[in-house]
Structure 1
Amino acid sequence: MQIESHVLDKVNEWLTPTFDEHTQAAIREMMASNPKELEESFYKNLEFGTGGMRGVMGVGTNRINKYTLGKNTQGLSDYLIKSFPGEALKVAIAYDCRHNSDTLAKVVADVFSANGIHVYLFSEMRPTPELSFALKHLNCHAGIVLTASHNPPEYNGYKVYWQDGGQLVPPQDGEIIQVIEALNYADIRFEANDNLIEYIDTAIDEAFVASTLANASFNTPKEAREGLKIVYTSLHGTSIKAIPYVLTAAGYTDLNIVKEQAEPNGDFPTVKSPNPEEPEALTMALALANEIGADIVVGTDPDSDRLGVAVRNTNNELVLLNGNQTMVIMTAYLLEQWKRAGKINGKQFIGSTIVSTPMMLELAAAYDVECKVGLTGFKWIAKFIKDFPELQFIGGGEESFGFMVGDAVRDKDAVGATLLVCEIAAQAKASGSSLYQELLNLYVDHGFYKEHLISLTKKGISGLQEIYQMMVDLRENPVAEINGQRVVCIEDYQTSKGRDIMNGSEFDITIPKSNVLIYYLEDGSKICARPSGTEPKIKFYFSVNAPVLSLDEIDLVEAELDQKIKNIIAAMQLH
């Protein structure tokens, strides 16, 4: 096959003495036997997306390896030195269970230390939210987590956190990228100063557990906690380092761990995908729960920032909740707790994202707090906390199974969220209700909101082009009607413009630019199209709603909403 000249230029650079012999040998092997893989490895540079940088591990500019991460770290070091002149710089580094995470974390630590920056490096894998906590706890200037979240085993990644404990946001992200891109690989300082690398573990763990207990427990009676039967799985990931300790410390004595998935393992051998968004990932946990009659199932992804929850419905059957449902349950509970404590005075807010359920806006209005809505990714919710210090953050989430309780952690936190959802379930059970019943009550009070996600995977160069063309078609040929309902408004976050179709007026969108398109229909339905920032996918989010006058109507209304979603998907010919 013909390889383009700009790709060959990169390949030839990586065959110079700047790169080690092992790397050069791997490149020569690809040149001889797999030119397509060579092109995939070098045709672009890995970029920062909504969750940092993620990619397949291997050699090349489009892969995760010591050189791409070393270049990032060198650029970040240069930026930190420029941004905080004269300060004794400190960074914290954590990593997950993935292959090479520990060695890549050490490479990153080496580069920081070679640049005179003090490094706090976790001695073993730890949950991502603990890194966000540790960064603030230790007064660091920045932090790094080596993780690819729930991506397949061949992936790894690099997430950058700033002083506030949140992920990088504008303008820092763009400025740092410019510094990185201006570097040559020969500029990377790999020679570690071991005197500047300090290993951390137990003391930070204890502080993190204490903080979680303070933020996510709500005076649940001892008998109620002991009466909740929990099944928990870490899906071979890092939450095993924190969640059992947090739940035990809180007083939950009936905790049943899925043993086959408790051992951290980057191959994730018992699941197709270690993603609690996928029902299959919780198969073993659900089986154990049915075997022992558990009340609730919780499963977390490899770096412990997302959680999947299953609870018993009104027929005593275990059902999986989606991310919007768990977010609504937890947010409503927090709002009610704040209200009862007399802490709501108009200076509080909750957080959500443009692709998450509009029901969050209904909850905010009912409790007289603001709901700040940002782009996909918890870094935007963390940015709200930083940008509005005069407001108190109660909690918030996004549809992709992430939630954050308070502001001690500035990223989605499955550790705190697991404790919170168990608190709600324990209190509900003790009062003769259930977590599922509490969700149904919310639908009666605020309207039944039903969401659905279709995620289309398009791999490689051709897949990237196909996703690009799909978004172009949606913009250049906007849909006027879907499922018999007129489109009344279109929001284009790439142009920062919205259009009211009914009166022809345009309005500005103040949220930062992003490749997202949202259609609103006259019946209140909402359809969002968005290419993923971390995976080779394009995602379509659907939200429909209807009023519910009583619990007796729930099944009928849900069936109607399910059918409406199916009709919309068919009308848009999404397969």
Structure 2
Amino acid sequence: MNSWQQVYQKWNTFQNLDLSLKATLDDLKTNNRALEDAFYKELTFGTGGMRGVLGPGINRMNIYTVRKAVNGLANYLLVNRVNVKDRGVVIAYDSRYMSKEFAVEAAKVLGYYGIHTHVFESLRPTPLLSFSVRYFGSVAGVMITASHNPPEYNGFKVYNETGAQIIPEEAEKIIASIKDTTDELSVPYLELEQLVARRLITWVGKEVDNAYVERLAQISIMDQMTLNQEKGLKIVYTPLHGTGRDLVTRGLAQLHFPNVHIVEEQAVPDPGFSTVESPNPEEHQAFSRAIALGKQVNADILLGTDPDADRLGVAVKQKDGEYQVLTGNQLGSLLLDYILKKNDPVVYQNARMIKTVVTTELGRAIANSYNVETIDTLTGFKYIGDKIQQFASTGETFVFGYEESYGYLISSFVREKDAIQAAVMATEMASYWQQQGKTLFDVLDELYEKYGYYLEGLSSLTLKGKEGGQQITNIMEAIREQPFKEIAGFKVEKVENYLTGERVLVKEDMVEEISLPRENMMKFMLEQNAWVCLRPSGTEPKIKCYFGVKGNSSEDSKQKLADLQKKMEEILAGIID
């Protein structure tokens, strides 16, 4: 009997197995391929948490895998933090299947160890969870969400006492603690009634929301007279069946934007995301209903937040009346330019803009023009949050942070990407430029003309299951063993191996250290300011290939990007074959 079959038999014969999971196992009993995928390995707990398909098995999201993760977290906290039981843990959840159930299961396990929990009484956005950790002075936060993944997914994200996602050093200790729990089916917990009776759980209402909204008003950089005026900008907003509606609309209302039209059929929380192929504002199909409403009300700007409201997409009306969705790199660059243009230059003395290594270099060019230093981090907003925390001791000032995947942070009262902050600031920015007679695309063209025609792209190759995971490993190993010397006619100037922490300068035949945490990622810096980066996704069965170019014109950039993308897709296909 294979090892996965032994684990399956343990689950299948467990007398107290959750009835819905038992029913699913019964349905799968003749499907060995599906059973193997569910039981051949434990669901990966990565650098921020875990995410996976719902269902029975150790490679699935269910009450038992959640309990095991929380058990490990509880033991980690008790050893590595002080006053853990009283300070407690904050738990929030979004609109996905089983989200509230998993939140309560987390509280039940923490309660067994005497750790108090603050659990939101209804669904809330991820950035509010980040804010609430520091608001309550808690030792950690847990967010039940799978962000923008398909409906069959859910996830479990862990935040440290700063309100940022846990960093690798913390994750390694938590993972070790989780592994000490050998049997996920027998994790100890209290019943909910016991938590209430022992006052180990507090249900959180609107108190934190109100405190967040007060801070949200302070990010505006409008002068007082403009702030108090009603603005004429017409806005359409879709929460994409998620958590963003209340805080986004409150944020816009307090800045006196009265013309906000909600896509009502997408304003209702729906774990099936019934009106979209994917609840991801990175994918333009998610805006189809917002575009239809935008045309109906003649909106100037369309806003879309993903289910847990940490990512924002924006579409802008063009002169021909059609709407075009900005890329994450474009919106981030526009926000950065607006914030630096409108802010007091006095703050720039020690100001820092933070971006990831796969985010557009246009941001660096904009920041340089204001004498603001750019700091690069690895992919993932946890690294931006951690860098902000370091500023408390270095005297540096955070002015903006962003990543290409539609994540932005304007003010550090949250330590996670925040689509609510970004929605409010993007609206303010669009209103400002409208008063100057410009759309956001007009301003973007001006930035390109001034700094260069930066253009970025992304290809994702999905390789599911045990076989797919091995294929992804093979791709990365092949590229590390034989790094490219040229790609699509572009000579390689630098090779950055983030797994070994080494940067090879090809012409100089020199090796430098990369002063960032280790990660399974390869980046190739090419001539003519082009670059390519390969990285397995930490949350999906994908390998991602990022591209960036800088051209002399829009057409030049598009051609260079197309050449790079075509060549890399050919290379990846060749490795798999």
User: Is this a same-fold pair by TM over 0.5?
Assistant: yes
2:10 to 13, 27, 37: 13
Match of residue 551 from structure 1: none
Give 1:97 shift: 0.4
Give 1:52 shift: 2.4
1:532 to 537, 541, 546: 537
Distance between the aligned counterparts of 2:568 and 2:414, measured in 1?
39
- Counting only pairs closer than 5 Å after superposition, residues 437-452 of structure 1 correspond to structure 2 as 437-452=442-457
What SS class does the counterpart of residue 172 from structure 1 fall into?
A: helix
Number of positions where the alignment pairs a residue of Structure 1 with one of Structure 2: 561
Give 1:502 shift: 1.1
Distance between the aligned counterparts of 1:314 and 1:24, measured in 2?
54
* Residues 409, 416 of structure 2: 8 Å contact kept: yes
* Residues 96, 238 of structure 1: 8 Å contact kept: yes
CA shift in 2, pair 1:133/1:573, >3 Å: closer
Distance between the aligned counterparts of 1:274 and 1:31, measured in 2?
28
- Counterpart of 1:80, as a letter, is L
- Counting only pairs closer than 5 Å after superposition, residues 169-568 of structure 1 correspond to structure 2 as 169-184=167-182, 185=184, 186-192=186-192, 193-194=195-196, 195-216=199-220, 218-219=222-223, 221=226, 226-313=231-318, 315-340=320-345, 342-345=346-349, 347-389=350-392, 390-547=395-552, 557-568=553-564
Give 1:280 shift: 0.6
What SS class does the counterpart of residue 467 from structure 1 fall into?
A: helix
* Residues 30, 38 of structure 1: 8 Å contact kept: no
* Residues 533, 545 of structure 2: 8 Å contact kept: yes
Q: Larger deviation: 484-493 or 76-85?
A: 76-85
Q: Please give the per-residue CA displacement for 1:514-573, whole angstroms capped at 9, x wherever unaligned.
A: 1111111111101111110001111111111135xxxxxxxxx11111111111222334
Provide the TM-score with structure 2 as the length reference.
0.93
Distance between the aligned counterparts of 1:271 and 1:323, measured in 2?
20
Match of residue 550 from structure 1: none
Q: Please give the per-residue CA displacement for 1:472-508, whole angstroms capped at 9, x wherever unaligned.
A: 2222232222222211111111111111111211111
Match of residue 147 from structure 1: 145
Q: Please give the per-residue CA displacement for 1:299-350, whole angstroms capped at 9, x wherever unaligned.
A: 111000001111134555321100000111111212223344x2221x1211
What SS class does the counterpart of residue 386 from structure 1 fall into?
A: helix
Distance between the aligned counterparts of 1:520 and 1:308, measured in 2?
28
Distance between the aligned counterparts of 1:331 and 1:281, measured in 2?
25
Q: Larger deviation: 386-395 or 312-321?
A: 312-321
Give 1:153 shift: 0.5
2:41 to 41, 44, 49: 44
CA shift in 2, pair 1:570/1:124, >3 Å: same
What SS class does the counterpart of residue 499 from structure 1 fall into?
A: strand
Q: Please give the per-residue CA displacement for 1:121-158, whole angstroms capped at 9, x wherever unaligned.
A: 11000111011011111111100110000101010000
CA shift in 2, pair 1:503/1:225, >3 Å: farther
Match of residue 553 from structure 1: none
The answer to whether residue 110 in structure 2 is matched with residue 107 in structure 1 is no
Distance between the aligned counterparts of 1:241 and 1:34, measured in 2?
44
Distance between the aligned counterparts of 2:187 and 2:430, measured in 1?
54
Give 1:16 shift: 5.6
The answer to whether residue 71 in structure 2 is matched with residue 74 in structure 1 is yes
Distance between the aligned counterparts of 1:266 and 1:149, measured in 2?
11
What SS class does the counterpart of residue 58 from structure 1 fall into?
A: coil
Distance between the aligned counterparts of 1:50 and 1:309, measured in 2?
29
Provide the TM-score with structure 1 as the length reference.
0.94
* Residues 51, 539 of structure 2: 8 Å contact kept: yes
CA shift in 2, pair 1:73/1:11, >3 Å: same
CA shift in 2, pair 1:18/1:115, >3 Å: farther
Match of residue 92 from structure 2: 94
What SS class does the counterpart of residue 388 from structure 1 fall into?
A: helix
Distance between the aligned counterparts of 1:252 and 1:259, measured in 2?
18
Distance between the aligned counterparts of 1:481 and 1:362, measured in 2?
25
CA shift in 2, pair 1:31/1:235, >3 Å: closer
What is the percentage of aligned positions where both structures have the same residue?
38
CA shift in 2, pair 1:506/1:265, >3 Å: same
* Residues 498, 522 of structure 2: 8 Å contact kept: yes
Distance between the aligned counterparts of 1:74 and 1:84, measured in 2?
15
Distance between the aligned counterparts of 1:24 and 1:305, measured in 2?
30
Q: Larger deviation: 295-304 or 189-198?
A: 189-198
2:130 to 129, 132, 136: 132
Distance between the aligned counterparts of 1:330 and 1:92, measured in 2?
31
- Counterpart of 2:258, as a letter, is T
The answer to whether residue 59 in structure 2 is matched with residue 65 in structure 1 is no
